[in-house]
Structure 1
Amino acid sequence: MKFFFHVGRYFKLLGRVFGRPEKHKMYLRQLFHEIDSLGVNSVWIVIIISVFIGGIMTIQFAYSMSNPIYPNTLVGLGTRDTLILEFSSTMLALIMAGKIGSNITSEIGTMRVTEQIDSLEIMGVNSASYLILPKIVAVVFIFPFLFIISVFFGLLGGLVTGPIAGVISIPDYIDGIQWLFYPYYVTFSLIKSVVFGFIVASVPAYYGYYVHGGALEVGSASTKAVVNTNILILLFDLILTRLLLT
């Protein structure tokens, strides 16, 4: 029963979030602020993680395919497809749920417990829409770009690490990342990125918006938000993979 209560309240909140905004200029200004705060500030961590993961996957693929009957190009192909299909969309979304999701929950939750949200409601402002809608739009907008950045730097990490580790040459690696490339894989992962972006923004916002108590409750809500966001990401990853890759 508690599960259905949360689901019902979540969709009720979304109804308010996507209600007609009072002042479009105010929302637009807030949107650019959220893109900078939630998206642009996440670029460096995405680059760093992707470079290391790309290098690690290249080395692991090289050792798992060390049998001479396997062509060396499979190393680049495996790294490319793993980055595109799973890491740069799903795994990155799980990581961003911890960074972006906890930020959203703590920000909105702090405003709730300090009665700033109540003040907005008294002034006649749709607080749900004003606080949450720009965050959702910003994260949904920025996630596909983070995906592209992650794939690029992941492949770059493999290109640098593979030859340095002596597991593959640069020409073999480049041939591998070009071999049997299916553009639909990119489309599939971009769709996942949009869905995951919506989950990463909306679920933590829900937990922050309905938090009650003080700083301890805000911290607890942030933990619940990240855990449930990760569960939903994995669930929708399974659903989208079944629907779009069959």
Structure 2
Amino acid sequence: MNLIVKIVEPLKAFLLEVGELSYFTGNFFKEVFKPPYEFKEFLRQCYYIGNRSLVLVGVTGFIIGLVFTLQSRPTLEEFGAASWIPSMVSVSIIREIGPIITALICAGRIGSGIGAELGSMRVTEQIDAMEVSGTNPFKYLVVTRILATTFMLPILIFFGDAIAIYGSYLVESMKGDVSFVLYSNQVINILEFSDVLPATFKSFFFGFAIGLVGCFKGYNCKKGTVGVGQAANAAVVYTSMLLFIIDFVAVFVTNIFYDL
């Protein structure tokens, strides 16, 4: 009997969480098309999310490019395929490594920040005060943040990919004496729309997931200061899991189209 309870209770809690998140998502799509539109707050969140994450994404992308090239070069040199490094690195970063690593970095940086910010507002009853004053806190706080993460993450991923490829070029220029023009030509020649479009398309879903889970956890934060920490932590954990699921589905669907 105790074993059944131990299995049923977590399953019940999980299903309740999924149901609440689905209802929260439905409210977002209902409110996003209804006026008034909080355009100034949306722009402020875009600046906060994009500009303040730019350095972290850039440094991460630069290190990815350096490490990936340094690790790959010795193996490729053994097979006499060192000339394929620009093509291999660019395709790997654009298709998979760049989007998922940048999204995970942003999940920790942006998702936890949104969860803690909205959670503290819920604990200090600022959201309740907005409801009493006649303001729609869901549209002002939630819709703007989800839209900002959805539109800014693809830009951050593009920036991180470019920095990662440049970091790869620096390694090649030191190890293989490759010019920037030659390296750039190899990168451009190997990339196709079938590489760039799926990665760009799924990056919008990555951004939506980061904003949605962060807002959901923060907006429904439990009372007390402990709840703020739990909301921030849960936002990062849940978002990371959701990102891997979205990435798997995106790669699976893309491969189906490749096989057609």
Give the structure-2-normalised TM-score. Answer: 0.87
- Between the aligned partners of 2:189 and 2:35, the Cα distance in structure 1 is 52
Superposed counterparts of 1:50-89, under 5 Å: 50-70=61-81, 72-89=82-99
The one-letter amino acid of 2:148's match is A
In the alignment, which residue of structure 1 is the partner of 2:249? 239
In the alignment, which residue of structure 2 is the partner of 1:33? 44
Q: Structure 1: which 5+ residue stretches go unaligned?
A: none
The one-letter amino acid of 1:7's match is V
* Residue-by-residue CA offset, 1:79-108 (whole Å, 9 max, x unaligned): 101110112211110111000000000000
Shift of 1:240: 0.9
Matched positions, count: 242
Superposed counterparts of 1:1-246, under 5 Å: 1-20=12-31, 21=34, 23-24=36-37, 27-70=38-81, 72-164=82-174, 166-167=175-176, 169-170=178-179, 173-246=183-256
Give the structure-1-normalised TM-score. Answer: 0.92
- Between the aligned partners of 1:33 and 1:197, the Cα distance in structure 2 is 17
Instruction: Indicate the RMSD between aligned Cα atoms, in angstroms.
Output: 1.7
Percent identity (aligned):
26
Shift of 1:213: 2.1
Shift of 1:9: 1.1
CA contact (8 A) 1:62 1:75 kept: yes
In structure 2, relative to structure 1, the CA distance for the partners of 1:19 and 1:119 (3 Å cut) is: farther
- Between the aligned partners of 2:182 and 2:74, the Cα distance in structure 1 is 15
The one-letter amino acid of 1:152's match is A
The one-letter amino acid of 1:178's match is I
- Between the aligned partners of 1:197 and 1:58, the Cα distance in structure 2 is 28
CA contact (8 A) 1:62 1:167 kept: no
Shift of 1:48: 1.3
CA contact (8 A) 2:103 2:243 kept: yes
CA contact (8 A) 1:58 1:75 kept: yes
- Between the aligned partners of 1:176 and 1:238, the Cα distance in structure 2 is 28
In structure 2, relative to structure 1, the CA distance for the partners of 1:168 and 1:234 (3 Å cut) is: farther
Q: Structure 2: which 5+ residue stretches go unaligned?
A: 1-11
The one-letter amino acid of 2:121's match is M
- Between the aligned partners of 1:168 and 1:2, the Cα distance in structure 2 is 58
CA contact (8 A) 1:208 1:218 kept: yes
Instruction: Tell which deviates more after alignment, 127-136 or 173-182.
Output: 173-182
CA contact (8 A) 1:59 1:167 kept: no
